[in-house]
Amino acid sequence: MTRFNTFLKTGLLALAAAMALPICADAAVKKKHHAVAHVAATHSTHRTSHARPPKAARHVVLRNGSRGGIKRVSSVVRFEPARPSFGQLYGLHNTADALDLKSSVALVLDADTNEVLFSKNSQAVLPIASLTKLMTAVVVTEANLPPNEMLTVTEDDVDTEKNSRSRLRVGTTLSREEMLHLALMSSENRAAHALGRAYPGGLEAFVAAMNRKAHELGMNDTHYVEPTGLSSRNQSSARDLATLVQAAQQYPIIREFSTSPQYEVELGHRPAQFRTTNALVRNPAWDIILQKTGFINEAGRCMVMQARMAGRKLIMVFLDSAGKYSRIGDAERVRRWVSELPAHAPVSLPKVAS
């Protein structure tokens, strides 16, 4: 009798568990849909360039099948919402402008006369992402260090702040000149960090030299804490960055490397092809003298250039652009507008749409 009672209790517990399983599964499905709706409502369009996007967490829901079995249903990929840019937090995107630019900060000036052709929030101080590497290049170039000295990527050069991707594995050895080329053309973070680390006195001395140079150039809104731009504490204004472009373009090696469309180096025993981060370099409609792009979430998409157009040599600065291709679109808007201006005539902007 005791064995029968035990068997009966076991059977009843199994039956109860089987009946409860669909309820639990339905609750899990409802919870899944609630999570997806929450993510859809809060997910930002920003992603981290030159930096890895947030990792996806894959959730798998199990439910009771028609024959009582358990089967796998479609998984749900969730992304942590990206942080808004500083420009968004400051409300700079609410500023209307005559050219309808998507960058919250912009500056266009004549490099020969310093005449300002266009200005939008140009005094705002924002993170500048990999535009930092222009100052890194200036400090390295002015130090007159041996260009053929071999530098090796170490664990110290691995980005632990943004977890940015790099094709330069720990142990990769390249010349200082090759590292500079990749830092300017492909915005290679490990290359830029290695350049700073290999400076006489080390990284701390290098960052001090960056800030000293900024002060020397009169870049009073600018401050650096590291040589890559991955830190949002590297900050500047559009006016200061125009000054930096003027200083950097004096060096042929910076002009050449920043406008190189592609470059091949030996990684181990195999050749590796690197490409520019700026699509305009390959565009025949553009005559670019110097350029640099940058992106972290806090900075938005950024770009500086010096280019020849319509008989002028112009410096253009675009900060905190909101879309993947919007800084390119902004540059094209400026080029079309400048091309329609009479040569050397006073600049007259179109009226801002109400």
Active-site entry in 187, 231, 236, 258: 187
Contact 223, 237 (CB under 8 A): no
* Catalytic residue chosen out of the listed positions 49, 130, 232, 237: 130
Is 119 among the catalytic positions? Answer: no
> Which of 228, 264, 210 has its CA nearest to residue 153?
228
Do residues 301 and 323 make contact, with C-beta atoms less than 8 angstroms apart? yes
Cα–Cα distance measured from residue 326 to residue 311, given in angstroms and rounded to the nearest whole number: 25
In this structure, the strands spanning 70-72 and 300-309 are: unpaired
Instruction: Identify the three-state secondary structure at position 149.
Output: coil
DSSP 143: T
Please say whether the beta carbons of 130 and 292 come within 8 A: yes
Name the active-site residue from 32, 133, 213, 292: 133
Of 128, 137, 294, nearest to 222 by C-alpha is 128
Q: Which of 249, 248, 232, 246 is nearest to 125 (CA)?
A: 232
Is 133 a catalytic site residue? yes
Angle, to 10 degrees, between the axis of helix 176-185 and the axis of helix 189-197?
140
Q: Which residues are catalytic?
A: 130, 133, 187
